[in-house]
A = this chain, B = another copy of it.
Amino acid sequence: MDELSLVSAIRACCGGRGRGVALGIGDDCAILRLRRGEELLATTDFVIEDVHFRRKTHTAADVGWKALARGLSDVAAMGGEARWALVSLALPKWADLRWVRGFYGGLRALGDRFGVTVVGGDVSRTEKLTADVVVLGAAPRGKALRRSGARVGDGIYVSGALGHAAVSGYRDRPEPRLELGKKLRGKATACMDLSDGLGLDLRRMCEESGVSAWLDGVLPAAPGATLEQALGGGEDYELLCTIPAGVAAPRELTRVGTVRKGKAGEVWFAGVKLGRTGWDPFR
């Protein structure tokens, strides 16, 4: 495998023009067009062998799906529409063209559902397989959701079941909540996605918003999930948001608590302060 045959295989996997693509794969940059009155959303996420996946338990298509899902979930958390992706892929010797085609197959299977086009990227060599996927999206100007807007008295809500990724051994294929994110525009005061577990992610939201959180609702734990997995399992890619009293929450959401005055970032569960809970690759 040389670089030209690799790039040819990738171009074959990622052909076709998408919305707003003036120039896709094959030049120094992609050229992309937003619609009038839109803002650009940009995010990038790693998926690395033995950190985010293992060869023994994840197919190439699983890895491709997950690599795109992480960024799509970030765009969902902002209430945006995902449009384009750039895929950087560093390959160890064991990863052949068949693996690469499988990876793009999984990535495209997810991307096609949301009309997301691969418009560029980079390839290189390394020891541990590394994908870094940029997702670019759009939202109407001034309407994107942020994690910093939670206000005292707001209800705290999550989508889906917590800890489902941990219960599956992190082998399930995450479903980015893009439709739900758009519904939350104009309703939620703050929103983010649950990538590292409710405990740590809610703490981050509260730090950015200068508030504390009181979890007093019933946690919608996934079947078979322990409390530790529901609070700190990570990789669920559900949405966490705050909605003011009196605003109807979409029915995909479950209320789990209330925003309170207090030390910024403190999270209380059943009357007890939570420690540092959640997945951290640096510990």
Query: Which A residues fall within an 8 A CB radius of B?
Result: 1-4, 6, 22-23, 26-34, 39-46, 48, 51-52, 73-75, 77-78, 80, 84, 86, 88, 90, 119-128, 130, 132, 134, 136-137, 139, 141, 144, 146-148, 192-193, 208, 280-283
Q: Which B residues are CB-close (under 8 A) to A74?
A: 28-29
With a cutoff of 8 Å between Cβ atoms, the chain B residues found around residue A132 in the complex are 44, 46, 88, 122, 130, 132
Show 21 residue pairs from A and B whose CB-CB distance is below 8 angstroms, ordered by the A residue.
A2-B280, A2-B282, A22-B39, A22-B144, A23-B146, A26-B147, A28-B43, A28-B147, A28-B193, A31-B40, A44-B44, A44-B134, A45-B122, A46-B90, A46-B132, A48-B126, A51-B125, A90-B130, A125-B281, A132-B132, A134-B134
Q: Which single member of B78, B80, B122 contacts A46 (CB below 8 Å)? A: B122
Cα A212 to Cα B278 with chains together (Å): 57
**Assembly stoichiometry (copies):** 2
